[in-house]
Chains A and B, each alone.
Chain A
Amino acid sequence: MTSRTMDGCIKCGACVRECPVLLQEGQDRFPGPRRLAVEGPRFNEELSALRSPLELCTTCARCTAACPSALPLPEALVQVRRLLYREKPRPERQENMLANIDGTLRTVLPSGPVTELPSTGDVLFFPGCIGHGRYPEGITSSLSLIRAVGGRPFAPQGWACCGSPLEKIGDEQRLARLEAHNKALFRGFDTVVTSCPGCTVQLRKRYGLDPQHIIEHIHGSGRLRRSSFDHGSPPIKVALHSPCHLARVVGPHTLEMARDLLDMVPGVDVVSTGLEDDCCGGGGGVASARPDVAERMAARKVQAAVEAGAELLLAPCPFCVINLGRTGLLNVQDLTVFLASRLLKAEGIYSPIP
């Protein structure tokens, strides 16, 4: 049958106008969410010609936000991917990711030293593959912040990928396997803190948990205030990136919380770039399928931050940090890393990622 998304469109064009990938890449390369999630799936075999543009959706959900019928376009699009990838090879880097999952239960193999996590405590912290394997500073800073608000973070031994990347590229089988694995580990806990919004969303949607993003956790604790931060640090101009899955899916309140937290840090001047809300280009499997596109999207944002006078670009999402960092035009940091580095008493904080 047709989906609610396919039947619910009245062709107002809002999603087409708002899609950041379409804007960046042009209609020829990326026809946008309406073609891929609404119009295209109405056809029969013609649909297979949409395989390659389908790889370019970052699932940023800006289309859904703009849609007057609030149609779940990214989900519908992912559904189409699932249909088209059945038994077909995927882009090389996605195949690598799948091999990693089959070997280690995680999407990436650590590229350097990892941050060790305590195995006991009272706050279950889910590190996520990207933080664990590619951005250990982000894990360290999250642990510091949880401790700063009075918790004892720990992670269950042998945690597996939350499954978010698998869902985005439509690999149902592996997804089910990972979920079963994690669910057994999470038994008995209903609060989980994550630093990656992708994980937050996934744990909420598929695990029946009430996960908190680290920003929600530390802000909600009410225990951080201006006096928690170092008054001696030099003044700095920063730009704040709004991660799609955090702001649009977890909720827009998270961005207010992030700004609140930044306001507490002495010497921080948050500059406005005008593109805060734009997707960094890394999500939805785009970074692995089409790194060139992910980088072009990132460059546009980073450039805007540079032009606004920012010395540092902050994002409360390790995945966005890595994608934005690709361009090398500006220093990019996870918001937690920055906050932790400005805490009065911090432990184990290192300098920004190279």
Chain B
Amino acid sequence: MSSSERYMPEVLIVGGGATGTGIARDLAMRGVEVLLAEAGDLSSGASGGNHGMLHSGARYAVTDPEAARECATEGEVLKRIAGFCIEDTGGLFVSLPRDDHAYLDRFLDGCRGSGVRAEEISICEALRSEPNISSDIAAAVRVPDASVDPFFLVWGMAESAREAGATVLTHTPVTSLHVKEGRIARAVLGRGERRRTVRPEVVVNASGAWCGRVAAMAGQRIDMQLDKGSMVVFNGRLVNGLVNRLRPPADGDILVPHRSSTILGTTSGPGTLEDVRATATEVEGLLRAATEVLPGLSTARTIRSYAGVRPLLNGNGRGRQASRAFTVIDHSEGGVENLLSVAGGKLTTCRLMAEKASDAVMRRLGRSGACRTMLEEISPPVIGGGSFQEEVMRRKYGAFTGTILAECIGSPLGREEACSCESVSVGELEHFAASPDVISLSDLMRRTRAGMGYCQAGLCVFRMASALDAGEPRREIERFLAERWKGISPVLRGEQLRQEAFKAHLFKVHGIDHTREG
């Protein structure tokens, strides 16, 4: 879209994570003209740096019943409307002999109280469904946890919002909000040639961990803290469903099977907005804790680590004690009548957050229109025959597969495999590279999963670069590999060490050192 085009949205949404895209979808489906501006790519914030659990609510059943209740209902709603990016694997909570036994009853009570379907099962049954966990476990509870791919959820919501008429702009930061007579009169988005001004009636601040900064542009203060969480990615599926430690939430409690990998998390500690990464010490701590439940973990192949930052609203406790429930802040009390900030919450509750925020926007606009987001599917899961490549595509893109498939299958080159770890074809890369949303290799990776597998872009990076056709491919490749390396270096051991040594040889031919950051 060219910058000369005029946008006259009723509502400006700041932030393209789960919350922002959820709100864009909700409002657009209610017939509101919305413009979403995202500073980077979709899911470049916490939505792309989380654990990928579709919470049943069980994890919060004891400590945070309100969040538990929200997760319990919303988890089921998302399974219904976003089945294409959810693997409904179910989950187990297991305790070890040294864990506090009294916690089991509190846990079951908490689940009952918050409407979380939890069922205690025998040790035998638990070991049957998860043969790799420690046979020492003392108790086991089955819960309806699931695994969700946040990249595809957010992308799906953005596409669904667009279909309903929303404009979604990525790589378009909101740079200033101009307040005049108690309301935001105009907002400036984009930089340089792409800079433009809009005059929305309402601004929704859905910028997650950045919400304090964005609110400050309008002279508003949000009292919040940043809490970092780190995760480790293992090659392949080490568990059949989610495995949680049955104890008060602590580090390294949860294993999530995620597509072709397993993700272990998380930690909790003070965070910053820049340079968010996991450290080798956090990785060690996570491994130590989780090996107690899954002994084989100590020799399993770690392929990378990553981290995300949670915005936690103050007055809600610190770190793990802070509530995971969300808040819609109406800034009219602070003197800006058309600014709403949405903060806190979970990926799991993003639809509900969007509904509540959109209700508030509708009131502010003085318009009516009921929420329809829980009725209409973003994309149904599409199942059915075909090659492995097609099957993998369907499980990524759901109903959006049709068009992409038509392009891929059209030519033998399109079908050719670009990333074999994740079975991504050249056609998929080209399809997404043609989107105005995609300007970097990281964007292309988030759309297709190319480069996310165990060789960490060792083989596909050149294919990706040629599909993207970026101005300075070499610089872009180096930038992308440096970002990968940030996640790899803390887990550099065993097989991954051999992998990276091999890659170093491959890249040397091209004069690239993939182990150098920036």
Whether B300 pairs with A7 at a CB distance below 8 angstroms is yes
- B421–chain A nearest beta-carbon distance, Å: 6
> B459 on the interface (CB 8 Å rule)?
yes
> B220 on the interface (CB 8 Å rule)?
no
- Closest residue on chain B to residue A43 by CB atoms: B260
Cα distance A45–B235 in the bound complex, in angstroms: 16
Number of interface residues of B (CB under 8 A): 37
- A122–chain B nearest beta-carbon distance, Å: 47
Complex interface: chain A residues within 8 A of B498 (CB): 10, 69
- With A10-B455, A41-B236 as given contacts, are A2 and B300 in contact (CB-CB < 8 Å)? yes
Whether A46 pairs with B454 at a CB distance below 8 angstroms is no
- With A2-B300, A11-B459, A12-B502 as given contacts, are A42 and B236 in contact (CB-CB < 8 Å)? yes
Q: How many pairs of A and B residues are in contact by the CB < 8 Å rule?
A: 82
> A35 on the interface (CB 8 Å rule)?
yes
Cα distance A313–B183 in the bound complex, in angstroms: 90
- B183–chain A nearest beta-carbon distance, Å: 50
- A249–chain B nearest beta-carbon distance, Å: 25
Whether A2 pairs with B238 at a CB distance below 8 angstroms is yes
Cα distance A53–B421 in the bound complex, in angstroms: 17
Scan residues 284-329 of chain A and give those whose CB is less than 8 A from a CB of chain B.
none
Whether A31 pairs with B499 at a CB distance below 8 angstroms is no
Give B490-507 as 1s and 0s: 1 = Cβ < 8 Å from A's Cβ atoms.
000011001100100000
> A27 on the interface (CB 8 Å rule)?
yes
Give B201-242 as 1s and 0s: 1 = Cβ < 8 Å from A's Cβ atoms.
000000000000000000000000000000000111110000
- With A11-B459, A35-B420 as given contacts, are A2 and B388 in contact (CB-CB < 8 Å)? no
Cα distance A7–B238 in the bound complex, in angstroms: 12
Scan residues 428-475 of chain B and give those whose CB is less than 8 A from a CB of chain A.
453-455, 458-459
Give B377-412 as 1s and 0s: 1 = Cβ < 8 Å from A's Cβ atoms.
000000001111011100100000000000000000
Cα distance A100–B127 in the bound complex, in angstroms: 37
Whether B388 pairs with A50 at a CB distance below 8 angstroms is yes
Whether A6 pairs with B236 at a CB distance below 8 angstroms is yes
Scan residues 53-109 of chain A and give those whose CB is less than 8 A from a CB of chain B.
53, 69
Whether A2 pairs with B87 at a CB distance below 8 angstroms is no
Cα distance A9–B453 in the bound complex, in angstroms: 12
A-side residues, CB < 8 A to B, are: 1-2, 6-13, 27-28, 31, 34-35, 39-46, 48-50, 53, 69
Q: What are 21 A-B contacts with C-beta separation under 8 Å?
A: A1-B238, A2-B236, A7-B494, A10-B455, A10-B498, A11-B454, A11-B458, A28-B415, A35-B420, A39-B260, A39-B421, A40-B388, A42-B235, A42-B260, A43-B237, A44-B87, A46-B391, A48-B391, A49-B391, A53-B388, A69-B498
Not counting A43-B260, A50-B388, a sample of 6 additional A-B residue pairs whose C-beta atoms are within 8 angstroms of each other reads: A11-B421, A11-B454, A28-B415, A42-B261, A46-B395, A49-B387
